[in-house]
């Protein structure tokens, strides 16, 4: 199994330390959490929804004793998780959203189209979200096309949805990937595999990722103590757009429509943006960890 390499580790340490209490909302293999604890953070509350990630992270953080608290929770529920450990506010929050190398490397999780496994894709296989098989085999063609277009930004969405509906039932990741390859063959010069966008779209829909992220950003900014920082690493433009807009809104005083003569909204900035442009991995990091190529980090500080 490939060990998950934590992306943008150095910038994360620069922005989130020194700190007493930090929430790592996407614990994964615990790489960022370990580095934060090694850099002197007092205690980390690590959250993940994936039982396997939690098991691995617990083992990898055992040496830190009570400084590393691990809980199964969605990062959207970080306020409740913080309450449970008696933290009213925190100095730092990290969200490193998306799928981990461990999840991709376990074919039975259904995230990887290059390996064969069931059409699952749930971050928490014991949770109440539908597995990808339900979307693929039960959703109507229009809804499927919509998801492929909106979350995969795939312009062949209608053609693909029609082919999927005609080929039902589809049971495995390879069956689906082979169908996609047949309907939209890879052309010379294509940088990504034709199944990439459809798998991304299904994963986002299965886990309701964008809505969860949007909701969590507001909760996270509320939970920060003055001077506390929220750092978000995203991996595709849909996520980054949500982070950028949410940070822009929270860092703006008046949000009345442009021609309103006097402010009536009363909105006040609660954070300042520390990264005017997102921070990206440098060449050296991309060489060691190709997954970091698409990572974008944005950070805000609570006023």
Ligand X SMILES: C[S@@+](CC[C@H](N)C(=O)[O-])C[C@H]1O[C@@H](n2cnc3c(N)ncnc32)[C@H](O)[C@@H]1O
Q: Does 15 bind ligand X (CB under 6 A)?
A: no
* Inter-CA distances, 271 with 68, 87, 142, 228, Å: 27, 20, 40, 9
162: left (phi over 0), alpha (psi -120 to 50) or beta: alpha
Instruction: Identify the residue among 8, 16, 23, 50 touching ligand X (CB under 6 A).
Output: 50
Tokens read off for 203: 């994963």
Q: Which is nearer to ligand X, 70 or 119 (CB)?
A: 70
Stretch that binds ligand X, among 46-54, 174-182, 189-197, 274-282 (CB under 6 A): 46-54
Tell me how far, at minimum, the Cβ of 231 lies from ligand X, in Å: 11
C-alpha span between 98 and 77 (Å, rounded): 17
- 3-state secondary structure at position 252: coil
In 3D, which of 55, 63, 76 has the Cα closest to residue 126?
Answer: 55
Q: Does 32 bind ligand X (CB under 6 A)?
A: yes
- Return the number of the residue (49 or 161) whose C-beta is nearest ligand X: 49
Nearer to ligand X, 77 or 157 (CB): 77
- Residues 71-110 close enough to bind ligand X by CB under 6 A: 74-76, 96, 98, 100
> CB of 88: closest distance to ligand X in angstroms?
21
Distances (CA, A) of 75 to 46, 116, 140: 9, 29, 31
**Judged by CB, which is closer to ligand X: 104, or 161?**
104
- List residues near ligand X by CB under 6 A: 4, 6, 25-26, 28-32, 47-50, 53, 74-76, 96, 98, 100, 123, 212
């Amino acid at each position: 199994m490939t060990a998950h390499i934590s992306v943008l580790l150095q910038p994360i340490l620069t922005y989130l330390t020194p700190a007493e209490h930090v929430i790592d909302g996407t614990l994964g293999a615990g790489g960022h959490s370990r580095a934060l604890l090694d850099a002197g953070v007092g205690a980390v509350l690590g959250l993940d929804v994936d039982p396997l990630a939690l098991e691995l992270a617990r083992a990898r953080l055992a040496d830190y004793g009570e400084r590393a608290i691990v809980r199964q929770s969605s990062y959207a529920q970080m306020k409740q998780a913080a309450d449970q450990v008696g933290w009213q506010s925190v100095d730092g929050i990290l969200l490193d959203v998306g799928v981990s190398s461990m999840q991709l490397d376990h074919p039975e999780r259904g995230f990887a189209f290059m390996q064969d496994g069931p059409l699952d894709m749930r971050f928490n296989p014991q949770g109440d979200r539908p597995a990808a098989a339900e979307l693929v085999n039960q959703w109507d063609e229009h809804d499927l096309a919509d998801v492929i277009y909106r979350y995969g930004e795939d312009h062949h969405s209608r053609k693909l949805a029609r082919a999927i509906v005609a080929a039902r039932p589809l049971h495995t990741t390879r069956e689906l990937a082979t169908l996609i390859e047949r309907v939209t063959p890879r052309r010379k010069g294509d940088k990504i595999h034709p199944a990439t966008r459809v798998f991304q779209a299904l994963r986002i829909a299965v886990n309701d990722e964008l809505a969860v992220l949007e909701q969590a950003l507001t909760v996270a900014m509320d939970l920060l103590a003055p001077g506390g920082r929220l750092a978000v690493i995203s991996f595709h433009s849909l996520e980054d757009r949500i982070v950028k807009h949410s940070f822009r809104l929270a860092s703006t005083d008046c949000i009345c429509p442009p021609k309103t003569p006097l402010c009536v909204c009363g909105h006040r900035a609660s954070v300042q943006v520390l990264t005017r442009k997102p921070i990206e991995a440098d060449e050296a990091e991309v060489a060691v960890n190709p997954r970091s190529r698409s990572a974008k980090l944005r950070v805000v500080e609570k006023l």
